[in-house]
Chain A
């Protein structure tokens, strides 16, 4: 399977714990995006990488959230001191990055439940 993969697919944690999610984009894709989707809503942008550079961060991404893409390949999204409001589906997408309007390919998402 050469699509975007995310790990884990599901995560249940207690409030106050730290969690880390991983996204592996399609191998030749330069751009990588993180989105968050709460129940009944469309996804919301969190952050975006061009290769290893984090080019934009949403105001939704509080100081408890950090994302990295150290070698321009896979990316991690860490949430520290989780809160119940962090419960959501975290989606990763990647795109080739050669044009401004290239198609984004989405991973299956990581569903986070904070108890």
Chain B
């Protein structure tokens, strides 16, 4: 079982729909990241969370540390939101291991006009 699991793997929506992508993890973490990757490879960091909820424009990210679960919501989705959304966690292990991220497999989102 992967340390970070995302669902769904593929998501298709109509423009304007509310979208939720889920991420579950099995390790202790110091932070969870939501990333966006467009075709061609470029990755952009959307959110970094260690507790609670963050909002940026139409994007909302929440995390429940006790349940080891996070969600990324997109309100009023638009075709330009089409991308791969990746959840990544930073372990809270000591020593030098805290630097690296462990990634989920990504959720491919396609929003049709």
Shortest distance between the CB of A38 and any CB in chain B (Å): 10
Secondary structure call for the B interface: strand
Query: Does B98 lie within 8 Å of A106, measured CB to CB?
Result: no
Query: Does A100 lie within 8 Å of B90, measured CB to CB?
Result: yes
Residue among A31, A33, A100, A104 facing the most chain B CB atoms (10 A cut-off): A104
Query: Does B41 lie within 8 Å of A41, measured CB to CB?
Result: no
Verify if A65 is at the interface (C-beta below 8 Å from B): no
Secondary structure call for the A interface: strand
Query: Does B104 lie within 8 Å of A91, measured CB to CB?
Result: no
Verify if A67 is at the interface (C-beta below 8 Å from B): no
Query: Does B99 lie within 8 Å of A31, measured CB to CB?
Result: yes
Query: Does A42 lie within 8 Å of B43, measured CB to CB?
Result: no
Given the known interface contacts A91-B43, A101-B48, the answer about A45 and B101 at a Cβ–Cβ threshold of 8 Å is yes
| Complex CA–CA separation, A105 to B102 (angstroms) | 15
Which interface class (under 10, 10 to 19, 20 to 34, 35 or more) fits B? 20 to 34
Q: Which of the segments A17-25, A48-56, A79-87 contacts the partner chain? A: A48-56
Chain B residues with CB under 8 Å of A45's CB are 100-102
Which interface class (under 10, 10 to 19, 20 to 34, 35 or more) fits A? 20 to 34
Verify if B103 is at the interface (C-beta below 8 Å from A): yes
12 CB-based A-B contacts, threshold 8 Å:
A33-B99, A33-B101, A41-B105, A41-B106, A42-B104, A43-B103, A50-B96, A100-B90, A101-B50, A103-B48, A108-B42, A109-B43
What is A's interface to B at a CB cutoff of 8 Å?
A: 31, 33, 35, 37, 40-45, 48, 50, 55-56, 89, 91, 93, 100-101, 103-106, 108-109, 111
